[in-house]
């Protein structure tokens, strides 16, 4: 029985059931605070705690899902292709916004954490807060950051961005779906992109573009910046 609890035969159905329950809660509640990732994460964490399953064993048993993260991100290219003509017309503004956002998002978080006295492992994990999970995990391994902490920070950042981003931009009188999508993609990566796709295909396309380019830019620059 113990071996079963630490195997993919238990971890994969657990993840699937938790996600389906999270989706049901999200749809019933109608609030972004109960995003499926939040609900599913809480349910999985509760089960692991009750059954005393170490996170490392759970992560290893969920290896198939980690492998599918990459193809899932690539699939976001579909709305991108559908709105390619609109994206091309906004090339230079997008490039400037991407450069500023990709640099400022992690730098501001790391500086605040540094001022609050955070330890080096936390600072390293925070450096990948604004890129999607597959890239963040690969980057964490390269810069010797804790993958579990990095994943937690990435998910938390995405949920907060997806929840707070649209209302905040609306208060600033920003209603352009291109701007909203690009902001969500840079600051809330995959979770923000999922939220953008709920708003419109155009919003989702700009979010997917921002998420992909921000991840690529960070993956190229961060190891160089942290090199001894």
Express each pLDDT in 125-143 by its tens digit: 888 777 777 777 777 777 7
- Per the structure block, which two tokens stand in for 7? 């195997």
**Calpha distance 63→135 (Å, rounded):** 15
Backbone angles phi, psi at 68, to 5 degrees: -85, -10
Would you say the C-alpha torsion 114, 115, 119, 121 has a positive or negative sign?
A: negative
pLDDT at residue number 44: 87
User: Hey, how many other C-beta atoms are within 10 angstroms of the C-beta on 127?
Assistant: 25
CA 70 to chain centre: 12
* The two structure tokens encoding residue 28: 């019933």
Give me the pLDDT at residue 40, please: 84
Q: How many helices (H) and strands (E) does the chain have?
A: 13, 0
Q: Are 128 and 110 in contact (CB under 8 A)?
A: no
157, 130 Cβ separation under 8 angstroms: yes
Half-sphere exposure in the Cβ direction for 27 (13 Å, CA): 6
- 105, 186 contact by CB (below 8 A): yes
d(C-alpha 145, C-alpha 176), whole Å: 37
Predicted TM-score (pTM) of this structure: 0.73
CA atoms within 13 A on the CB side of 28: 7
Selection from 127, 123, 193, 134 nearest residue 158 by Cα: 193
Please, what are the averages of pLDDT over each run of 10 residues along the chain (228 residues)? Answer: 71 87 83 75 87 81 74 65 69 79 81 85 80 77 78 82 86 88 85 83 84 79 66
């Amino acid at each position: 029985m113990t071996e079963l609890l630490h195997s993919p035969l238990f971890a994969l159905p657990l993840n699937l059931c938790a996600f389906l329950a999270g989706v049901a809660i999200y749809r019933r509640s109608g609030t972004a605070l109960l995003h499926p990732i939040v609900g599913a994460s809480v349910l999985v964490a509760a089960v692991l705690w009750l059954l005393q399953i170490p996170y490392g064993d759970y992560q290893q048993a969920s290896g198939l899902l980690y492998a599918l993260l990459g193809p899932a991100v690539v699939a976001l290219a579909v709305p991108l292709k559908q709105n390619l003509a609109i994206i091309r017309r906004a090339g230079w503004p997008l490039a400037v916004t991407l450069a500023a956002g990709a640099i400022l998002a992690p730098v501001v978080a790391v500086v605040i954490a540094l001022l609050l006295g955070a330890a080096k492992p936390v600072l390293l994990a925070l450096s990948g807060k604004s890129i999607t999970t597959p890239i963040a995990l690969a980057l964490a391994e390269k810069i010797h950051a804790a993958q579990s902490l990095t994943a937690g920070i990435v998910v938390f950042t995405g949920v907060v961005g997806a929840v707070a981003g649209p209302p905040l931009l609306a208060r600033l009188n920003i209603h352009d779906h291109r701007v909203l999508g690009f902001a969500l993609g840079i600051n809330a990566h995959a979770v923000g992109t999922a939220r953008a796709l709920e708003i419109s295909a155009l919003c989702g396309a700009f979010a997917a573009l921002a998420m992909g380019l921000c991840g690529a830019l960070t993956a190229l620059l961060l190891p160089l910046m942290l090199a001894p």
